[in-house]
Every structure is written in structure tokens, then in C-alpha cells.
Amino acid sequence: MEINLVSDTVTKPTPEMLQHMFRAKVGDDVYRQDPTAVELEETVADLFGMEAALFFPSGTMANQAAIKLHTQPGDQLICDKWAHVYLYEGGGASFNSGVSCSLVDGNRGMITSLQVEEHITDPEFYHNPKTSLVCIENTTNKGGGACYDIEELKRIKQVCTDNNLKYHLDGARLWNALVAKRQHPKQYGELFDTISVCLSKGMGAPVGSLLLGDKETIHRALRIRKILGGGMRQIGYLAAAGLYALQHNVGRLEEDHRRAREIGVLLQQLYWVDKVEPIETNILIFSVKPQFDEALLMEKLKQKNIFISSMGKGKLRIVTHLDYKQVMHDYVLEALMKIEL
Ligand SMILES: *Cc1c(COP(=O)(O)O)cnc(C)c1O
């Protein structure tokens, strides 16, 4: 039994999900003739109270399309210094859209309305790049699954409105935030110009993301998706997995959060653990005391078939997910307790 806690992207479709995919009605989506893809797009758009949605092969492509939609070459977007759009998309903002990123020194990947205000360039001062977009991440990836206070997001929205900026939410793990904060997707739909969500993380689908927005924006996104090579044919099989995930795998994210918290509580009691960062969702970041070797810890866990990841500088990461079951959890707690470093 291999226990992979490296990421929530390691999940594999269950037999039930595969059955659902197997039975999907499909067509050529490049001609917009795939009924299941359309059903998924309409379902998710309705859920968020937004006009339209478009299926993407990855969250990266959905974010990159959003940046392209909201900017012109030479513009600047504002995001946290740890933002996925800046740090983990291969430099796509500059490659695809010719824009630079003005980086905010946020807290666990989260930025404030005041920080956004400070980073906006004067539109009349033409020496500076023009600020045109603010990108938010919820939950934060490198920030360890932290969730925004919705009031802060509303204040940032106000700054965007006042300064004529577009507002994009990278919601790869927004489902986790919705469950943890007991929020409704419509609370986000009314705030943002575009939202990207992933189906292939905690949701357990093998592939797929969606970009949401108004009709005109999503119509323009169709061309950008094509340019990026994301126009695909019989994607109903993938969309069916997404529909299945929406029906079955959202509420249960609470279990992932509980297990992450329980691991955190245990870690805090162990003599070799230095600090456990706050645990709000399914990501747990902790560090070992300087006199202990994190590589040795990872090796000892590996010998017990438990895989976690290192973030460098003594920090380690554990991510819980759909395929991490209670028996595995009991085994992991036991194993951690017995580790000698
Ligand atoms: C995973 C992730 C994405 C998208 O990743 P893909 O692997 O391209 O689907 C985007 N933003 C955040 C915050 C993520 O964690």
C-alpha cells in the first residue's frame, strides 16, 4: 500500500467515476457539439451564478487565458509573490501575454486591498507599465491552503472597480475554501470578472478545469483556448468525470481537512517538529528543528511507503485527498508517532 501525500493531484478515477465517463454522450467540442462538455459548463456557470464557462485541459491554461483576456502586451498584473500564475506557470504571463507581474509581499499567499492599492501604477505616468489586472488565489497553494476572508476580497473588488482593473480568481482549490468557510459559489461569482476552478485536485477527476465569466468574455476565451492548443474533440468523457466529481466529491473535502488537522495536532507534539503552519484546508506545511535532517525524515517515511514533499529550507508539505483513506490515515499517524530522528 503506497500512501502518496505529495499532492491532491495524485488521485485516480474510481470505478464509479469511470462508469460515468464510459457512458458519456460525446461529440466534437471544437465544433461545440459535445453535449456533456456543454452540460458541465452550464452546470458550473449556474453554480457560480455566472453567465458562461469553458472547459480547459489544465488550470494553468485557464489562468493563462484569463490573463490574456484582461491585458494588453506591456501591461502589468498584481499578484502575491507566491502566486501560481507567477511562480508555477512557466513564465506564461510574459510568454503568452507579454505582461509583467507586480509582486505583493502577502501573508501565506494572500494579499490585502491596501497592498493592491500600493501596487497600482499611475495611469497618467506613461513611463510605468499599465496596471490592468489583479489575480487572487484561493485557497493558496504555496501558502499552505490558506483561505481568504470574503470581506477582504470585497475590499479588493472595490479597489479594482475604482481603478478600472479586472479581477481574476485562481480558484484551483476554491472547492476546499467553499467547504472550509461554508461559503456559496455565488458569493465568488458576483465578485470576479473571471474564475478558474480545477476538477483534477481534491475533486478526483483525472483532467479538467473551467474558466468562468460573462458571455462576451468566455466567447473571446474560446479563441484564446484554440490558440493555446486547448481546443479538444470528444471531451465529454472528461467532462463526465467533472460532473460526477461535482455530485459526489465536494462535501467530502471536509474529511481531507479533518485528516490534515489531525496530522497537524500530532506533529505539534513530536520532539523533532519545529513549527506547524496553520491548517485551514487539506495542505499542511511544517518544519523540522534545525538539528534534525528533513531528508532523513523523508527517507524513513519512504521506508514505510509514505511519500511527502520537501519545499526546501527545512519546510515539508503533506496534502490529503480523496485517495487517502481512513485506514491509511490511522497508519500514517502511527508511523509518525514512532519515527526516531
Ligand atoms: C494546481 C494549481 C493550478 C493549475 O494547475 P494545473 O496543473 O495546470 O491544472 C493553478 N493554480 C493553483 C493555485 C494551483 O494549485
In angstroms, rounded to a whole number, what is the distance separating the alpha carbons of residues 106 and 189? 24
In angstroms, rounded to a whole number, what is the distance separating the alpha carbons of residues 195 and 187? 12
Name 198's bridge partners. 209
pLDDT digits (tens, 9 = 90+) for 291-336: 999 999 999 999 999 999 999 888 999 999 999 999 999 999 999 9
The phi and psi torsions of 227 (rounded to 5 degrees) equal: -60, -40
CA of 197 to the centre of ligand 1 (A): 9
Best residue among 9, 10, 58, 60 to mutate for probing ligand 1, ranked by most atoms within 8 Å of CB: 60
Domain ranges of the chain: 3-8+252-338, 15-248
CATH code for the domain defined by 15-248: 3.40.640.10
In angstroms, rounded to a whole number, what is the distance separating the alpha carbons of residues 271 and 274? 8
Name 284's bridge partners. 318
What is the pLDDT at residue 312?
A: 87
Sheet of 315-319: strand order equals 273-276, 283-288, 315-319, 309-312
Counting as low any pLDDT under 50, the low residues of the chain are none
pLDDT digits (tens, 9 = 90+) for 183-194: 999 999 999 999
Which residue has the CA at smallest separation from atom 6 of ligand 1?
59
What is the pLDDT at residue 177?
A: 98
- Look at residues 304, 294, 314, 310 and name the one whose alpha carbon lies nearest to residue 334: 304
Closest ligand 1 atom to residue 209 Cα is 9
**Grid cell for residue 221:** 476565451
- Look at residues 232, 187, 193, 240 and name the one whose alpha carbon lies nearest to residue 212: 193
Q: Provide the whole-model pTM.
A: 0.97
Which superfamily, per CATH, for 3-8+252-338? Aspartate Aminotransferase, domain 1 (3.90.1150.10)
CA of 84 to the centre of ligand 1 (A): 7
Report residues whose beta carbon is within 6 angstroms of any ligand 1 atom.
58-60, 63, 84, 137, 141, 170, 172-173, 198, 209
